[in-house]
Amino acid sequence: MLPPHAPERFRDRETLWNEVEKIEQHPKAQLAYSFDVTLQNEFSMEENRQLVRQFLQDGFVSRGMIVDYAIHEKDAGEGGIQNPHFHVLCPIRPLNPDGSWDNKQRREYLLDEHGNRIPDGKGDYEFKAVPTTDWGSPERLEAWRQAWADLCNSKFEEKGLPERIDHRSYARQGIEQIPTVHEGPAVRQMEARGIATDKGSLNRLIRATNQKLREIARRIRELLQGLAEIKDQLNAPQSPVLADLLTQRLEQRNAGAWSNKAKIGNLKEFSELVLILQERGIVTLADFDAYMQNFQKKSAAMTAALNAKSARMKELGELIRFAGEFKRVVPVYEEWNSIQFKKARDKYKDEHEREIILFLLAKRKLDAAAPDHRLPVKAWQRELDKLTTEYKLESDQLKPIRDELKELYSIKSKLGPFLREAAQGKNNETRKENYAQEEETH
C-alpha cells in the first residue's frame, strides 16, 4: 500500500526493498519497522482483511508510510497455521513530496550559554540526532496498538459478540497474571502427540503459577473488602481487640455445646486462632488490616519477580532457537548469495525462500542480542536453566502464601459476626444518644 506521492513502481516489493537497501550506505543500517499482529478467529477472513486494510490505511499510509503486508490465514490442516495473523514491513526512511527518499534523522546542534555551537574536538560540533518522523517513538507504537484494539472491539460490538481485546499488558491492566509463550503449530503438534517441548513445559509451569496467583489475589481482595466493610461499620477510634472477640466466640459456642468433647474442640480452635494472631503480632482489627496490606504488597512483589523471570526465559528460549536455526540455514543463504546469474538466483530463491527468510529473521534477532556476532549459546542456556530452577522455586513459595491466606480468611470469617454485632451495638448507642438529645431539646 502506497501513499499518493510514492512511485508506482514500489508496488512491486522486490523493486521496493532493493531500492531501500540501495539508499542505505551503512552496513548496519536499520531498513524497516516490522510488526506481527494477531487476527480474530471470530471474524471471517474477508472481515479480517477489511480491518487490516483500514488499520494500515488510517494509521500508516495516511502518515506517508509505505506498507508491505502479508496475511497468514488459519489452516487447521497438518502443519497449518492455527492462529491467523498478518505481518507488516514499513521502510523507516520517509519519502519527499517528489517521491525521492528523505533523511531518517537530522542533526540538532548543541549550544552553549551564549547560543554558540559547541566544538567536539574533532573538527565538528556536538549534536544530537533527531528523527524526522515520530514513526519509531514509543508513543506512536502505543497509538497503533490501541487503534488495532479499538477497531477489533468495534467489530465485536457490531457483530453482537461479547469478546474484547486489550492492547495493554496484564501488568498495566492490573491483572496479576504471567503471559504464556507463543507455541506455534510445530510445538502444538508435538505436544498433541505426547512429545514434551521446552515451550510446552514452560507454559504448563506458567499456567500453574497463574492459577496460584489468581487464588491468592482473590483471597486478598475478599479479606481486604471484608475488613473495610467492618471498619466502616465500627467507625471507632479504638479498634477492637481480636482476642476479646475470640473469647466471646468461645463462650458463645461453649454455651451451646452438648458435651465436654465439643467444649474441648472449641477450646482447641480458640487456642489455634490466638496462636496464629500472636505469631503475626496481630492484636487489633487495625493490626489485621495493616498486616493484610503488607501481605498484598508482598504478593505483588513476588508476581513482579516471576513476571521478570518469565520474560527473560522467553527471550533466552527464542535466542537459543534462533541460534540453532541460523546455523542450519547459513549454508543456504551463502549459496544463494554466491549465485551470479539472476535467473538461477531467482530460481534458487523460489526453492529456498523459507530458509532465506528464516536466515534474515534470525540474523536480525541475533545481531540485536550479540552485536559482536559471537553467539554465547552455552551462556544463554546456563542462564535459562538457572532462571527455570529459580522460577520453579519461587512458584513453589506461593503455596505457603496460599496456606497463610487460608488461615487469615478463617479468622476473619469466625470474627465477622462479633465485629458486626459490635458495630450494631455502637450504632444503637449512637441512636439512643441522639434520641435523648432530641427529648431534651423538646
Cell, residue 121? 574536538
**Alpha helices of 235-259 — where are they, by DSSP H?**
242-255
Q: What amino acid occupies position 225?
A: Q
Q: What is the mean pLDDT of residues 110-139?
A: 85
The strand ranges marked E within 99-253 are 105-109, 127-131
Predicted pLDDT of residue 442: 45
Residue 430's pLDDT is: 46
Cα angle: 383, vertex 384, 389; to 5 degrees = 100
Q: Quote the strand ranges of 230-360, DSSP E.
A: none
Opening angle at CA 375, ends 371 and 377, nearest 5: 145
**395-404 residue pLDDT tens:** 888 778 777 7
pLDDT band for 65, please (50, 70, 90 cuts). Answer: very high
- The grid cell for 424 is 450494631
Q: Taking the chain, what is the end-to-end CA distance rounded to the nearest angstrom?
A: 85
CA 388/CA 410 separation, integer angstroms: 34
Phi/psi for 288 (5° steps) reads: -60, -45
Q: Would you place residue 254 in the very low, low, confident or very high pLDDT band (cuts 50, 70, 90)? A: low
Prediction pTM value: 0.50
119 forms beta bridges with 125
Give me the CATH code for the 198-240+284-435 domain, please: 1.10.287
pLDDT digit string (tens) for 184-229? 667 777 777 788 787 778 778 787 887 777 777 777 767 667 667 6
Cell digits of residue 20: 531501500
Cell of 109: 546542534
| CB proximity list for 79: less than 8 A, separation 6 or greater | 185, 186, 189
Tell me if domain 8-97+136-164 and domain 198-240+284-435 are identical in fold.
no
**Is the model's pLDDT at 5 over the cut of 70?**
yes
| pLDDT for the residue 11 | 93
Q: Reply yes or no on whether the pLDDT at 381 is more than 50.
A: yes
**pLDDT band, residue 286 (cuts 50/70/90):** confident
Residues 6+ apart with CB under 8 A from 386: none
Find, among 429, 430, 419, 426, the residue nearest to 240 by Cα. 419
Place 39 in a pLDDT band, splitting at 50, 70 and 90.
very high
Q: How far is it, in rounded angstroms, from Cα 262 to Cα 264?
A: 5
What is the CA 334 to chain-centroid distance, rounded? 38
Of 145, 132, 41, 44, nearest to 88 (Cα)? Answer: 145
Is the predicted pLDDT of residue 372 greater than 60, yes or no?
Answer: yes
Only one residue has cell 488510517, namely 58
Domain limits, the chain: 8-97+136-164, 198-240+284-435
In the beta sheet, which residues pair with residue 69? 88
Mean pLDDT of 4-13: 93
Closest to 147 (Cα-Cα) out of 61, 84, 63, 59: 59
Rounded distance between C-alpha atoms, residue 109 and residue 129, angstroms = 9
Judged by DSSP in three states, 122 sits in coil
The contacts of residue 159 (CB under 8 Å, 6+ apart) are 42, 43
- pLDDT > 70: percent of the chain: 80
The grid coordinates listed for 325 are: 536455526
Q: Which fold has domain 8-97+136-164?
A: BirA Bifunctional Protein; domain 2 (3.30.930)
Cell 506458567 -> residue: 206
User: Does the pLDDT of residue 145 top 70, yes or no?
Assistant: yes
